Structure 1
């Protein structure tokens, strides 16, 4: 073959793999953006917007969802990370790093001549086997009071003992049954505020102040009315108001509204929580009656408050009901008060569903967001551990699984074995990155740890990132939730397969809106 023919053949190959290589490069770029944060020695990332606003974080999903990414393959990986966060609440960095390794290795195999379909086949076999092995190596957690949960929170909480203690205390207050409820997220009870003291309490926070400083700041034995609407008279259209009948209707609605306010007072209500605004006359009447009113509460906070006090939210029209019926929808709480320093409302000891709140203190405004993210990660990991058990951390379980997946390769015929190799490399990647971030040589340490695991028969052996020595992760208390590992591995496999299957990238044409000419029919001549 002449040089010209060889060059032509090489060009055809490059052109054929252009989409695959382009997508692989995009995935690699995304993975490299977060891999430096992995492990106990991982560093932070600074995100800067066009206005110069800065976010400094170690949280993988925050980096991924905040960074600017225009490539479609990159967006696919970010969406996978979002799904991981929504389902488990942690492990997005691990999923991203493994996905990057899977795609990168897969592309290398294809460039060498392995058909894409065979690589994908091998990846499926390898991931399926790896998932089975991780589940087998999982150890159950006895419940919300298991001492191991503090270690789970400490690892996920990046070593912040105060945050780990808060989260574990909250988990104990909520209980095992609630933590296993798929509809409940422990991370939702976390809030961080500048100048606050770390605390956990049975109750809910509302990030609003009372409507007027003339209203009581504190209410004991609170009888709570929740209005999922505005506390205003029913509206009437301007056109109707211009007529005599409309004006009469307006006056009637004003009278009814005043009667409804009197009902609230007669019922002995002393706390009113309102979704939207409050009419001036309502503010005046309720202030005179010594009632605390909080307006424009977010739907999420209003719902939590209603559940905690045992109230049934009503619309403004619901206030027309007789006093006896309204009494049945009220909630109760031991105490409701406004923290004037932190500018929020605390509701304690509700008679409805028990709810805990974790308030994380932060010294400055700049670190509030990061403290909250750390606490939410810790809470998500604790709940995942209660639901699905734990495995040794530090990349140890992935290395142990990689050794066993390698054995599967021997039983696979044909080129699909190369896809299994990709899974093995992806499983080794978290450990390698943790070691690199700690300042050690990954190639050297991975050999040391694998040899030690085989010799001692312990899957929990990994690297002590402080000393550089092989150590037992269970003895060090370095453990991870099983569900985090399973979802990260599954997510990495899914995105890798999706990327490897893309053969061509075609830009869609822009759809132009149709312009009507005003003519229904056309006469053509000639």
Structure 2
């Protein structure tokens, strides 16, 4: 009798934990799902000091939220993973994860063992990924008209930004877009009070020490210092001794004598990640050399890659001009832009680079537009790498129909996990329809019937008219990789949350056992 009562109590505890986690997940999803689709609205984030961010970007909303619940934090990791790996589709990934958890909880509360639900979900996701790949359309080069349509869809219908992204993609070339470590989205730069443009090179976010030089530099050498442009240091303790002071004077003289070497090498731009000695600054100003100090590591890396410079330490200045020359980069153009308060560099001797400058009247608007541009850039790059599918939840609904047919042939309780995946795949379309002001049950069933009758995965619901429309003809497309990674990431976190039996607070790490 006591054993029976214990089992019942354990079951209630597990059910309570599951429902508590599901409620936290539901709260997270509700914060972002209203932004999904062309009719999605913005979210206002308010900080403790009164700072305000108005955005439609899912990962920004989730990262800025004050979240304490552990299950909710796991959901945020889904968006971060999507952002890190793909750069677009963070809201979709979050919505899918929430739907998988909700559908999974429904099956568990019906009596299906969690292990069977999770196993079935994994099988369903694997099958869905296969179907997504089978239905993928390939990009026929950077001139493919689908490129602009994908950029417009991901860029929230902002055609100006979409055209900038396409121009930038053409500027770096298709081979560069396929490189593993290259992210076109990293080329986006927000700038208050500026016009939007694509610059064929890089823009260094730093004002030169000698900004008064109103000079455009052409065909110059570029020196990148992962160090200070100063004499080598002597400790303060050593300076109080005669030998130490003499050493200090020798180092200063050695540094001073190395500066003319820069002229011999044709150096026109020096970028250092630390400070610059006043004497070196004066020398460079007198001889028309732009000097940037305390440049960020990111900008130094981009400058090195674009110009072909090899970053060096200050000790490299001791070398002869012939020995130092291989470390220099080159640029066909460099100039300080007073309006932007940044330095423009182009026609570098290294890798081809572009900068997508996104301007707006205010800093807040510029930041939001830059987030939109990064989404569009990530989507374009993902499409070049992995092709595209109809957007707006149309492809997901078609794949859900594929899974329904497979579900009919399955035996065992794993089939209930596949049911959870089917329900989750319908969620993006349902949420987009809700945000557009239509009845989701009516529109999902209407579209499901239309796709089955036409045997087409490109049919979707027009958010203006509510009518069934061919999304490929309408130019509503999403990259395949965005959909696949979103579903896989959602499946991982949903499986983890569904399997949680008990939540236990850990003791502080400094407590002794």
TM over 0.5: yes
Match of 2:493 among 468, 492, 495: 495
Deviation of the 1:215 alpha carbon: 3.2
Q: Give TM-score, length-normalised by structure 1.
A: 0.94
- Give the aligned length: 510
1:260 to 258, 261, 273: 258
* C-alpha distance in 2 between matches for 1:414 and 1:267: 75
* C-alpha contact 1:140 1:388 (8 A) present in aligned 2: yes
Indicate the residue corresponding to 2:34 in structure 1.
36
Displacement of 1:216: 4.3
For the residues of structure 2 that align with 1:479 and 1:511, how far apart are their CA atoms? 49
* Kept in 1: contact 2:211–2:336 (CA 8 A): no
Give the structure 2 partner of residue 354 of structure 1: 352
**1:480 partnered with 2:463:** no
Contact 2:79-2:94 at 8 Å conserved across structures: yes
Give the whole-Å Cα distance in 2 for the aligned partners of 1:265 and 1:475. 59
Please show how residues 150-299 of structure 1 align to structure 2 within 5 Å.
Answer: 150-299=148-297
Structure 1 residues 214 and 15: alpha-carbon distance in aligned structure 2, compared to 1, 3 A threshold? closer
1:392 to 390, 393, 396: 390
Preserved contact between residue 151 and residue 479 of structure 1 (Cα < 8 Å): yes
- Aligned residue in 2 for 1:317: 315
User: Match of 1:510?
Assistant: 508
Tell me if structure 1 keeps the 8 A contact 2:213–2:285. Answer: yes
Structure 2 spans left out of the alignment, 5+ residues: none
Q: What are the superposed Cα offsets for residues 274-303 of structure 1, whole Å, 9 maximum, x if unpaired?
A: 211101111112111222111111111111
CA distance in 1, matches of 2:466, 2:212: 63
Q: CA deviation at 1:309?
A: 1.6
Cα contact 2:228–2:275 (8 A) shared by 1? yes
- Change in 2 beyond 3 A, CA 1:102/1:213: closer
For the 8 Å contact 2:220–2:266, the answer to whether it is kept is no
SS of 2:259 mapped into structure 1: helix
Secondary structure class of the residue paired with 2:267: coil
Question: What residue in structure 2 maps to residue 417 of structure 1?
Answer: 415
| SS of equivalent to 1:342 | coil
Describe the SS at the equivalent of 1:51: coil
Report Cα offsets for 1:174-204 as digits up to 9, x if no partner. 1111101111000011112112122112110
Which residue of the other structure, out of 76, 79, 83, is the alignment partner of 2:81?
83
> Which residue of the other structure, out of 441, 444, 462, is the alignment partner of 1:443?
441
1:216 to 1:275, Cα distance in 2 relative to 1, 3 A: farther
User: Partners in 2 of 1:81 and 1:158 — Cα distance?
Assistant: 19
Q: What per-residue deviation string (whole Å, max 9, x for no partner) do you get for residues 488-508 of structure 1?
A: 111111111111111111111
Aligned to 1:135: 133
Question: What is the rounded CA distance, in whole Å, between the counterparts of 2:179 and 2:409 in structure 1?
Answer: 41
Between structure 1 and structure 2, the one with the greater Rg is 1
- Normalised to the residue count of structure 2, the TM-score between the two structures is 0.96
